[in-house]
């Protein structure tokens, strides 16, 4: 009987040890950048910049010793007296300022220094202690950098190279904390019920890029009320039209009022949003 207890105790301790030692540093693509607040509006950039990472693995990873940097001189080594264990499939927020009262209302997992996010073009690069690239995002012209809203990676593209493409990112639409838009520490909202949305709203815009007029067609699985919103990278954000009880919307839009560049056209209806990217080129 006593031997059984010793065996049991050994098994428990071994399991505990394996669990501890299983908290390893991430490898390439195991941590992914999923959201970036480049240009907060509710608070200053010095107080309100942050970015979100996702542990794509099914195991915990240890963040101590990783480096955050850009292609220039910004560099920060993640250091802590605590073990920064990021649970499997969790989202963490790394920020300049950890004070929820002054950072725009973000709950922060780690505070960094010497790392800023330019409002035009910049990089978020995460490397391991041996300089292996874990993930990077390099944003600039053509990316949805909007004042007062984070850039959210579409959940279909949560991969090492999937987050490299500007068309996989969208300006956040749902407010948090002090009023800026984003989903810090949470799955980007397109992920919740994505399939349902895909089935619920179908949105086509053509031609795209457009030099003159374009046609927007939206179809719904049942008659819906809602609105068409237009958002661009300069912070313009307006409701183009509201509609009620329509199963099909077909709009011929003469875009004289749309400045050339990239626009996000959204159909918002019944708590669902379908967004697509339109390039006005003339």
Q: Please state, in angstroms and rounded to a whole number, the distance separating the CA atoms of residues 265 and 277.
A: 6
Q: Please state, in angstroms and rounded to a whole number, the distance separating the CA atoms of residues 150 and 183.
A: 8
**Which pair of structure tokens corresponds to residue 160?**
């090492």
Closest residue to Ca ion using C-beta atoms:
183
54/214 with CB nearer Ca ion: 54
- 159 neighbors 29 (Cβ within 8 angstroms): yes
CA-CA-CA-CA torsion for 89, 93, 99, 102, nearest 10 degrees? -130
- 51 neighbors 36 (Cβ within 8 angstroms): yes
What's the min distance (Å) between Cβ of 211 and Ca ion? 32
Closest CA to 147 of 52, 37, 51, 46: 37
30/216 with CB nearer Ca ion: 30
DSSP string, 40-67: -SSS-HHHH-EEEEEE-SSS-EE-TT-E
What's the min distance (Å) between Cβ of 65 and Ca ion? 20
135/180 with CB nearer Ca ion: 135
What's the min distance (Å) between Cβ of 32 and Ca ion? 7
63/126 with CB nearer Ca ion: 126
What's the min distance (Å) between Cβ of 124 and Ca ion? 9
35/237 with CB nearer Ca ion: 35
What's the min distance (Å) between Cβ of 136 and Ca ion? 5
* Angle 65-68-143 from CA coordinates, rounded to 5°: 150
Closest CA to 218 of 231, 206, 230, 202: 202
What's the min distance (Å) between Cβ of 42 and Ca ion? 13
183/273 with CB nearer Ca ion: 183
- Which residues contact Ca ion by CB under 5 A? 35, 39, 45, 52, 117, 119, 135-136, 163-164, 183, 188
């Amino acid at each position: 009987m006593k031997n059984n207890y010793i065996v049991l105790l050994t098994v428990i301790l071994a399991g505990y040890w394996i669990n501890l030692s299983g908290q390893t540093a991430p490898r390439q693509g195991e941590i992914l950048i999923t959201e970036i607040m480049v240009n907060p509006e509710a608070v200053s950039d010095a107080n309100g910049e942050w970015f979100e990472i996702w542990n794509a693995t099914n195991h915990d990873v240890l963040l101590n010793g990783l480096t955050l940097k850009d292609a220039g001189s910004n560099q920060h080594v993640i250091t802590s007296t605590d073990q920064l264990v990021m649970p499997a499939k969790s989202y963490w927020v790394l920020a300049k300022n950890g004070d929820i009262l002054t950072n725009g209302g973000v709950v922060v997992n780690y505070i960094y220094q010497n790392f800023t996010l330019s409002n035009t073009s910049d990089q978020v690069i995460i490397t391991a202690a041996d300089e292996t690239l874990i993930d990077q995002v390099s944003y600039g012209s053509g990316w949805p950098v909007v004042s007062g809203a984070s850039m959210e990676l579409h959940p279909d593209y949560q991969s090492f190279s999937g987050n490299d493409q500007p068309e996989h990112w969208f300006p956040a639409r749902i407010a948090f904390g002090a009023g800026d838009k984003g989903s810090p520490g949470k799955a980007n909202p397109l992920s919740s019920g994505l399939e349902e949305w895909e089935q619920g709203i179908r949105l086509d815009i053509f031609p795209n890029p457009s030099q003159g007029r374009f046609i927007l067609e939206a179809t719904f699985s049942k008659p819906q009320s809602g609105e068409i919103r237009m958002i661009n990278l300069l912070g313009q954000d307006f409701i183009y039209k509201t509609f009620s009880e329509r199963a099909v919307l077909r709009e011929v839009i003469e875009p004289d009022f749309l400045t050339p560049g990239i626009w996000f056209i959204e159909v918002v209806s019944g708590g669902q949003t379908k967004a697509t990217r339109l390039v006005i080129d003339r």
